[in-house]
Structure 1
Amino acid sequence: MSNRYLTLDLLRGVAVLGLPTMNMLSFAMPVAAYLNPTVYGNHDFLNHFLFAFFNLFADQKFMGLFTLLFGAGIVLLAEKRAEKDQKVGWGHYSRMFWLLVIGWLHSFFIWENDVLTLYAMIGALVYPIHKLSTKTVLSISVVSLLIAAYFFQFPNLDHEQLESENNETPFWIYSPSDEQIEQDIAEKRGSYSEVMQSARRAYYEPLSDEVSDEEELLASFSYALMAKTFGMMCLGIALYKSGFLLASWSRRRYQIIMKLALAIGFSLSIFGLAWNYSHSWNIGAYFSVGIAASSVGAIFTTLGYAAVVVLIVQKGLMQNMVERLSKVGQMAMTNYLMQSVICGFIFYGYGLGLFGSVSRLGLIPIILSLWVFQIYFSNWWLKRFTQGPMEWLWRGLSYYSFRSMIRR
């Protein structure tokens, strides 16, 4: 395999294996525990240390890398279809339509925090941009990410009022009441229908007839998420077109970017953590400065992580592990959806029902076991088949042509 495709597959593999480091929290605990370490679990040093560790090194970083590579994949597939004189635009929009369908099914029947539906919608908007020059695409990316940073300050909220209330008003997404936590645990430990009804009610039903602060918060978060996703996909396109993601730059340039990006990214993330702790995780402080600093910092850290991975390929380090992880990347959709199925079985009531029972420390061996399984399964599968099962299905639906995936 050429360094070009090996690098992309490895980056994708690292990204998809990094997702459960944060996503598993959403399966295992009330949603507010993802954002706020003080609302659930023990309030000891270990709980706060693990929250800070994963917030610093994982939160938004691997999802950012996953999004960046999705943008790069748009250009890669467009080039492949153009080389074969196939309809490029038609192929892309067909892929986005079926990705939307798959994502909606995932969201509605497995896990409400699906990202594929968002990727499908933003991917459809991003497609025309891939034809522009690298500098133009990069400029669009920067503007979009600045818009995201603006909305991550939640300008439509009354921050002074929220700070004065000092988390006394229950916000299920950040500072839920004890009753809300107990209800969430009971529903997630219930039957399959109860789990799904709980998720749909939380995301699709209005909290009241009037627009509440919580709905204003969710609206700003949605705008920020869409702008950031758009910006990260554009950044992925620019990095692909420039050769950054293809390991074609000099080692020195990657080393400079790695050091600068990680220094800026970690500095902003540390500032965000320090800000939140200095304000005792006050909701007004968090949604004005804390989350904005962390979200902007994550963009730089993601870029730094990408540079690290490219350097590993360029230097020929850990070749056996690189090859194994690249197989995970070749089956990124399959592995992403598999994570939802496995986590749902472990934590929800229709499976083992461990929701609310596992600490942050207890999640670590589960994450490590999932990594080992997915690395082994991906390598086992691709020795026998040319594609992952979901990749095969997505391709077949998109191009109305199902080819045998048995490796001959």
Structure 2
Amino acid sequence: MLWLALHCPPQAAPDAAAAPPPEASITPALACWAGRYTPRVNLAPDALRLDIGASLRLFGGLPALLQQVRDDLAAMALPAHVAVAATPLAALWLARAGDGTVCPDLAATRAALAGVPLAALRLAPPLARRIEGFGLRRLGDVLALPRASLGARLGKPFVIDLARALGELPDPQTCFAFPERFEQALELPAPVEAAPVLLFAARRLVAALAGWLAARNGAVRALDCLIEHGHGHVTALPLAFSAPVHDAARIERVLKESLDALHLPAPALALRLCAPETVAREAGSLVLFDGAGQRQEALAELMDRLAARLGAPAVQGLACHADHRPEHASRAHPAAPAAAPPTLPRPLWLLDPPEALRESRGRPQRAGPLRLAAGPERIESGWWDGADARRDYFIAIDGAGRWLWIFRDPRPPGGWFLHGVFA
């Protein structure tokens, strides 16, 4: 097992009374963000702990994963200490002690713990004063003492914590329960009068949404961004996507277009991002040449950004319409990536020529009566080349369970015919 701890130290403020508490930055929204790395997230009062052992290969190894974490924190403007250790408690203590300690195994973890100041353990004040009275300053000083006497001097709970941090005892963690519905809010540090400025604060909510979607393997087609002005006044900013999305960068670009076109009626005090519903994320596969897929995704994003900037009614597409009259053969519709036209079932094998079937009381027969499972589907064509065809096709099942494609000719002399067999 390998654990990553993220500790947000308290930020200094000119007015000590205005300084936020140590846990001010550790919120459920941040735990949702961590879901992009692992579904096993522990939300502590002053830190997050992520079980990243099973995620290393997905992100290309530990250095690549750590770099991605730091990039995310920088994008969210979130100062944090990051540490990696073989046990969750060791990772927490190391993150509280400072930034950047990486212990890829248990041996390195035990060695690094020796330099951790005892203040990073956040001990109860009576125990901290007792240890300070012994002249102990670092965890290495404690570990150098006989383990048998520690329990009598410092208490059994402290000894158990030491054993858990060193990997000598199991340390099960309670995992964060990702909410069934995403709705997270962020209070702004100061009133904001220009809508585009809100994008900086919204990045944390978008990152939380992307992590939540990753943990649930989901995607969204629409979002509601609510800008709160106080006294119950809210500006609603709906975001719509032409195809399900889960990528934070794409969501952020569409949000930017919407904010750039928005005029705030009053200063903004808080932001709220809601996902009214989600859809399952489509599984993708990597291919050597995926130009068509990339072009389709780029087109979908372009349409989303244009709709966000200009309004959905201003972005229209054209689609074929099943009408032979030229003036009705196409229709305008809300822009969306072209979908494959629906296809009706067709058999793998066709008979040439079609086999005539017996008929009993108007029902087709072939070694017994045939049961009609679907149809009719009218196919009428060829009148211009002398091979005029007018047929009503059905899918039928015979007594042996075979699926057949049959048709009835509505023109005299009529009759039923077998035209194909489904594999």
Under TM normalisation by the shorter chain, which class is it?
under 0.3
The higher relative CO (CA closer than 8 Å, separation ≥ 6) is in: 1
Larger Rg: 2
Higher helix share: 1
Please state which structure has a larger fraction of its residues in strand. Answer: 2
- Give the TM-score taking structure 1 as reference length: 0.25
What TM-score results when the alignment is normalised by the length of structure 2? 0.24
